[in-house]
């Protein structure tokens, strides 16, 4: 029997009223584990109206008190770490250590939000002119929305909700309909941490509810994370309706390997970054770009045994596993079809992960690891974000060619270089047109007090996620210029006596 999931409105679980549902799967077994209710426009509008009421008091609460809710929330997340990780793994399929990592990287943003009063302070200039002072304040936007993808069921909702809420906003969170349970549990923990009812509303749904969010006049800002076509669509519609929008999209992350790199370390890094979480990470490295034929051969020689050794299995496995299933049967089918297209296009499929079956889990959505060599930028496997356990190797003749390949790619989320040469590393970091860069570091997700965001087709809108940018995104600045005539002497000179 699959469980009927709920929305979370005004601090309580609420059954969906539309009669429409989307299945939540256990990707390891292929069984339906739950049904996500898909909200209607009317349900969304009602949740927004209630959030707007709740926001009035919350927005007027002093920032330190709001930060205290974040402190308690962080404590509760820590206490419930294993339970949250299991919820993530059950619906997503990732291994338990990876599930814990998902929660941990979200928790780190909550921890930064404990210091929000400092980030929300305004600026002050005294004596900007005779008797003139200026000050600015950061005010909450009101009701904002977060729309999140399936691949980080804890981390990305936390990246959205923590800065938005601590800045004094109310939030409508629309998690992925494939993995909604972690968001629902986080909403319960926030209530326990002291968040007033209605300030966080979890409204589940699909395109219908997303469009309702984009068209609702009360919603002031939309923070989206997902695939590029949807990011572009949401950005356009939100901006057209006068909303602030930041929409993060897909990726095709390259890693350049220079001839002077430590080849074993580069190969280890590529295997972890390419196949971890079954390649379902927006910061996964999906393209290796070795410079020179010798480097390409040396890398290939090291990659093959490492890739063939990868252990694939369910999160419940007693044996150690490196990665789990992909999210749906359709995702598995699409990935295997793309691998076939690579073979048809003439790429060299060195390790073939198609047709992978796991005893006892024959109906799970497992895909074995695949590794292509001699991929070229015209091939579909290069152009498409595969979002699966597939690594492509594109050989480059020189550093300049490797840099050009990386820069010509339409995506610009992350990239990396492995080298022993500081000049090359510095040149790469300065010239590459990608938002997050790793030097001898394969997945350069910045720490929670920096910011996260891609360039080119990987992000639409302005400002990054978390860190100082998040506080800017979720507040509007008001600047006051004031003049007090007692401070001005006739003739415009400053009257110091008036200060006595």
Structure tokens at 336: 């295997």
Dig out the tokens for 266 from the structure. Answer: 């580069």
210 binds ligand NAD (CB under 6 A): yes
- Per CB under 6 A, 385 contacts ligand NAD: yes
Q: Is 227 in the site for ligand NAD (CB under 6 A)?
A: yes
β-strand pairing of 244-248 with 459-461: antiparallel
Long-range Cβ contacts of 432-437 (<8 Å, 24+ apart): 432/403, 432/406, 432/407, 433/407, 434/406, 434/407, 435/459, 435/464, 436/283
C-alpha distances out from residue 139 to 59, 131, 146, 218, Å: 8, 26, 19, 16
Decide the pairing of beta strands 475-483 and 132-140: antiparallel
Residue 458 found at the interface with ligand NAD (CB under 6 A)? yes
CA distance readout (Å), 455 to 155, 251, 414, 452: 21, 10, 9, 11
Can residue 467 be called a binding residue for ligand NAD (CB under 6 A)? no
**Near ligand NAD by CB under 6 A: residue from 176, 286, 464, 475:** 176
Residue 206 interacting with ligand NAD (CB under 6 A): yes
Find the binder of ligand NAD among 74, 230, 381, 391 (CB under 6 A).
Answer: 230
Residue from 8, 58, 73, 248 that binds ligand NAD (CB under 6 A)? 248
Position 148 contacts ligand NAD (CB under 6 A): yes
| Cβ proximity to ligand NAD, 152 vs 372, nearer residue | 152
**Residue of the chain from 28, 76, 119, 225 that contacts ligand NAD (CB under 6 A):** 225
Q: Is 454 in the site for ligand NAD (CB under 6 A)?
A: yes
Residue with Cβ nearer ligand NAD (380 or 427): 380
Q: Is 448 in the site for ligand NAD (CB under 6 A)?
A: no
404-443 mask for ligand NAD (x: CB under 6 A)? ---------x------------------------------
CA distances to 43, 161, 232 from 248, rounded to whole Å, are: 26, 16, 9
| Token representation of residue 435 | 């938002």
Closest CB to ligand NAD among residues 171, 282: 282
Mark the segment that binds ligand NAD (CB under 6 A) among 7-15, 87-95, 174-182, 364-372: 174-182
Q: How far is the CB of 249 from ligand NAD (least distance, A)?
A: 6
Q: How many CA atoms lie within 13 A of 165 on its CB side?
A: 37
Give the tokens for residue 223.
Answer: 């923070």
For 469, the 3-state DSSP assignment is: helix
| Segment interacting with ligand NAD (CB under 6 A) among 100-108, 144-152, 343-351, 477-485 | 144-152
Q: How far is the CB of 439 from ligand NAD (least distance, A)?
A: 21
Query: Long-range CB contacts (< 8 A, 24+ apart) of 3-6?
Result: 3/33, 3/34, 3/35, 4/34, 4/35, 4/37, 5/34, 5/35, 5/36, 5/37, 5/180, 5/181, 5/184, 5/204, 6/37, 6/184, 6/204
Q: Which of 109, 251, 278, 291 binds ligand NAD (CB under 6 A)?
A: 251
Residue whose CB is nearest to ligand NAD in the complex, by number: 226
Output 29 or 176, the one with its CB closest to ligand NAD.
176
Short-list 341, 418, 344, 345, CA closest to 386: 341
Asked whether position 246 contacts ligand NAD by CB under 6 A, the answer is: no
* Helix or strand run (H / E) with residue 170: strand 170-174
Q: Are 392 and 353 in contact (CB under 8 A)?
A: no
DSSP 8-state symbol, 95: -
24 or 299: whose CB is closer to ligand NAD? 24
Q: Encoding tokens for residue 274? A: 């390419």
- Is residue 149 a contact point for ligand NAD (CB under 6 A)? yes
Residues numbered 294 to 333 that lie near ligand NAD (CB under 6 A) are none
**Shortest Å, Cβ 435 to ligand NAD:** 9
Residues 387-406 that bind ligand NAD (CB under 6 A): 387
Measured from the CB atom, is 46 or 385 closer to ligand NAD? 385
Q: Which stretch binds ligand NAD (CB under 6 A): 126-134, 136-144, 245-253, 395-403?
A: 245-253
Q: Which residues contact 38 (CB under 8 A, 6 or more apart)?
A: 16, 18, 20, 21, 22, 177, 204, 205, 206, 208, 209
- What positions carry a catalytic annotation? 282
CB of 143 to ligand NAD, least distance (A): 18
Stretch that binds ligand NAD, among 55-63, 248-256, 292-300, 309-317 (CB under 6 A): 248-256
Residues 6+ apart with CB under 8 A from 253: 273, 283, 284, 285, 286, 287, 411, 413, 414, 415, 416
Give contact residues for ligand NAD (rule: CB under 6 A).
147-152, 174, 176-177, 206-207, 210, 225-227, 230, 248-251, 282, 385, 387, 413, 454, 458
């Amino acid at each position: 029997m699959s469980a009927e999931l709920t929305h979370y409105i005004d601090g309580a679980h609420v059954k969906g009223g539309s009669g429409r549902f989307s299945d939540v799967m256990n990707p390891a077994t292929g069984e339906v584990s739950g049904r996500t209710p898909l909200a209607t426009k009317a349900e969304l509008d009602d949740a927004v109206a209630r959030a707007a009421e709740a926001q009035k008091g919350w927005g007027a609460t002093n920032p330190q008190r709001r930060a205290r809710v974040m402190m308690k929330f962080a404590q509760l997340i820590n206490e419930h770490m294993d339970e949250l990780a299991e919820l993530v793994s059950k619906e997503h399929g990732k291994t338990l250590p990876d599930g814990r990592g998902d929660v941990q990287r979200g928790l780190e943003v909550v921890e930064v939000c404990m210091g929000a009063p400092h980030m929300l302070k305004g600026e002050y200039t005294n004596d900007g002119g005779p008797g003139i002072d200026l000050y600015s304040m950061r005010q909450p936007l009101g009701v904002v929305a977060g729309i999140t993808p399936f691949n980080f069921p804890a981390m990305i909702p936390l990246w959205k909700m923590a800065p938005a809420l601590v800045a004094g906003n109310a939030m409508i969170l629309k998690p992925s309909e494939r993995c909604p349970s972690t968001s629902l549990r986080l909403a319960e923990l926030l209530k326990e941490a002291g968040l007033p009812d209605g300030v966080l509303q979890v409204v589940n749904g699909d395109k219908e509810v997303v469009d309702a969010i984009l068209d609702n006049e009360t919603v002031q800002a939309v923070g989206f994370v997902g695939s590029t076509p949807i990011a572009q669509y949401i950005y356009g519609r939100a901006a057209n309706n006068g909303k602030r929008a930041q929409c993060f999209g897909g990726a095709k992350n390259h890693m350049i390997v220079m001839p002077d790199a430590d080849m074993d370390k580069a190969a280890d890094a590529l295997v972890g970054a390419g196949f971890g979480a079954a390649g379902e990470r927006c910061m996964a490295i999906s393209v290796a770009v070795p410079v020179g034929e010798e480097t390409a051969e040396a890398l290939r020689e090291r990659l093959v045994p490492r890739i063939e050794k990868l252990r694939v299995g369910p999160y419940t496995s007693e044996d150690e596993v490196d990665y789990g299933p992909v999210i749906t049967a359709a995702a598995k089918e699409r990935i295997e079809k793309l691998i076939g297209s690579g073979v048809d296009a003439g790429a060299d499929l060195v390790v073939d992960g198609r047709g992978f079956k796991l005893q006892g889990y024959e109906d799970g959505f497992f895909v074995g690891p695949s590794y292509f060599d001699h991929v070229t930028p015209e091939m579909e496997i290069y152009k498409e974000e595969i979002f699966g356990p597939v690594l492509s190797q594109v050989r480059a003749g020189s550093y300049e060619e490797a840099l050009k390949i990386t820069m010509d790619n339409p995506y610009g989320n992350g990239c990396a270089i492995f080298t022993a040469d500081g000049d090359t590393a510095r040149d790469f970091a300065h010239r590459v047109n990608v938002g997050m860069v790793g030097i001898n570091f394969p997945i350069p997700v910045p720490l929670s007090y920096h910011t996260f965001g891609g360039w080119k087709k990987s992000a639409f809108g302005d400002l990054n996620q978390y860190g100082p940018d998040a506080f800017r995104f979720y507040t509007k600045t008001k600047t006051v210029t004031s003049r007090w005539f007692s401070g001005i002497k006739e003739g415009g000179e400053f009257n110091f006596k008036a200060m006595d």
